[in-house]
Amino acid sequence: MKRGLQHCLLATFLLLCLITAAQAQGAAPQQHTVIAGETLALIAERYGVSVAALVAANQIADPNLIIVGQQLTIPAAGAGVVPSAFSPPDVIRVPLRPGDTLSRIARRYDVDPTEIMALNGIDRPRLIELEDEILLPVLPTYPRPFLAFTHSAGIVQGQTGVAAVTLANPEQPGGQFGEQTLHFVYRDKTRAGYRYWALLPTGALAPPGPRPLTVWVGETRVHSSVPILAGVYETQYIVLPPAKGELLQPARQRNELEILTQIWSTVTPEKQWRGPFRFPIAAGFLSTSPYGVRRSYNQGPVRSFHEGTDWSAAQGTPIWAPAAGVVVLAEMLDVRGGGVIIDHGLGVYSNFWHLSAIDVQPGQRVQPGDEIGDVGTTGLSTGAHLHWEIRVNGVAVDPLQWTTLGFPYAPMIAATEKAG
């Protein structure tokens, strides 16, 4: 994701709170004592001022160098910030050199060319030759060993996002996304540093609004927040006759869910998949119930949603592994019927329910396209269909997103190469 957008969204969320806070308190000058893990960018965001305003107010020579215990004067709240819903990121103005091109400037200042174009209202790269100066975003700086930290600019309910960090040393980062513990994976070492990434899954009922994201290496922490954006999901109002309601058998459901939760919470450290997932069923079958449809039973509140995506298909239709992995469950379940679970590594699991036949065994390694079973209507099901569900760290996410993006998708990771 583009850092400019991320910055912009963050700034928007923070601004709304900070402007209100500033109005309540009046504009008395404030002092701030720098604590471990803070950067000028974080302090600026916290007080709703720009990095440039902080630098000016404190005559800071090197914005990358602030010291724990250092006293900073916080300029009047809102200084250097345009209080609008589309507040731009902090910018600096730099002169152009003869023969400068967009790509040359992007390389020199380590900024995404599309971000420069957006910031300067350039729609064709060659036009910058006519200007004599150009606006560049001021990228946040991070305490060592962090060299870069980036994440999805916003995540629509039900989608999976990505966080990525670049470190000066090969150390295992840890992280927290709301209530969730993150699993960072080492990717590679580039000129920029050691790169790690983690998945940020959200459910279809995740509360919209900013969700805190914290990443740490040892004692050093960096904080951000990711806007969770409302998704467009239908609501089904289901009326269950008393007899059918009893069929749901809460106790048996709970037992089954406990076994599954145990599986989903296990994180195997190797990523097994490559690129986008394939569809687990042949093209042309009717999608009867998409992921995320909200459900209200007997006029009750919406507390659950459809955790997978369904295709209506004749009994016996083959089901294929959508990506490489290891089978960890292959058995008949009370509620979900014939079930197969594939562990794709890193806490990512594909689940297939209501199968009439199972062709794999626990422990078996599968490749994309391998047949794992047949469509059926076993368990609590009213007609032959395939239910495919993807769990990431236990959260049921939209499986179709996984068929279009190869996680961790390239733009997220590319963004971390900018710093260093």
Instruction: Give min distance, CB of 71 to Zn ion, in A.
Output: 58
Kindly tell me the sign of the dihedral angle through the C-alpha atoms of 62, 65, 71, 73. positive
What tokens appear for 18 in the block? 């900070």
Tell me: does residue 310 bind Zn ion (CB under 5 A). Answer: yes
- x-or-dash pattern for Zn ion, window 259-298, by CB under 5 A? ----------------------------------------
Q: Which residues lie below 8 Å from residue 21, measured CB to CB, with a gap of 6+?
A: 48, 77
- What is the residue-wise DSSP string for 23-67? HHH-S--EEEE--TT--HHHHHHHHT--HHHHHHHHT-S-TT---
Long-range CB pairs of 240-249, under 8 A, 24+ apart, other chains included = 240/297, 240/298, 245/298, 247/380, 248/380, 249/334, 249/335
- Cα 127 to Cα 263: distance, rounded to the nearest angstrom: 56
306 versus 344: smaller Cβ distance to Zn ion: 306
Interface with Zn ion by CB under 5 A: which range of 76-84, 109-117, 304-312, 402-410?
A: 304-312
236 versus 268: smaller Cβ distance to Zn ion: 236
3 versus 387: smaller Cβ distance to Zn ion: 387
Instruction: Give min distance, CB of 76 to Zn ion, in A.
Output: 55
Nearest to 225 by CA among 176, 266, 270: 176
Instruction: Give min distance, CB of 355 to Zn ion, in A.
Output: 13
- Three-state SS for 207? coil
Interface with Zn ion by CB under 5 A: which range of 149-157, 170-178, 303-311, 396-404?
A: 303-311
Q: Lay out the sheet containing 146-151: strands in order across.
A: 146-151, 160-167, 193-201, 185-190
Instruction: Give min distance, CB of 387 to Zn ion, in A.
Output: 3
173 versus 308: smaller Cβ distance to Zn ion: 308
Between the alpha carbon of residue 47 and those of residues 11, 29, 44, 75, 218, the distances in Å are: 11, 11, 5, 9, 27
376-415 positions binding Zn ion, by CB under 5 A: 387
Between the alpha carbon of residue 165 and those of residues 145, 190, 382, the distances in Å are: 10, 12, 46
- x-or-dash pattern for Zn ion, window 203-242, by CB under 5 A? ----------------------------------------
Instruction: Give min distance, CB of 308 to Zn ion, in A.
Output: 5
Count of residues near Zn ion by CB under 5 A: 3
Q: Which residues lie below 8 Å from residue 114, measured CB to CB, with a gap of 6+?
A: 2
Instruction: Give min distance, CB of 249 to Zn ion, in A.
Output: 18
Cis omega (within 30 of 0) for bond into 408: yes
184 versus 388: smaller Cβ distance to Zn ion: 388
Strand extents, DSSP E, 208-336: 209-217, 220-229, 235-238, 286-289, 294-297, 304-305, 309-312, 318-320, 325-333
30 versus 312: smaller Cβ distance to Zn ion: 312
Interface with Zn ion by CB under 5 A: which range of 7-15, 57-65, 234-242, 309-317?
A: 309-317
Instruction: Give min distance, CB of 199 to Zn ion, in A.
Output: 22
Instruction: Give min distance, CB of 302 to Zn ion, in A.
Output: 17
210 versus 399: smaller Cβ distance to Zn ion: 399
Instruction: Give min distance, CB of 258 to Zn ion, in A.
Output: 20
211 versus 387: smaller Cβ distance to Zn ion: 387
Cα-trace Rg, the chain? 25
Interface with Zn ion by CB under 5 A: which range of 31-39, 52-60, 307-315, 342-350?
A: 307-315
Residue nearest to Zn ion (CB): 387
- Three-state SS for 15? helix
Binding site for Zn ion (CB under 5 A): 308, 310, 387
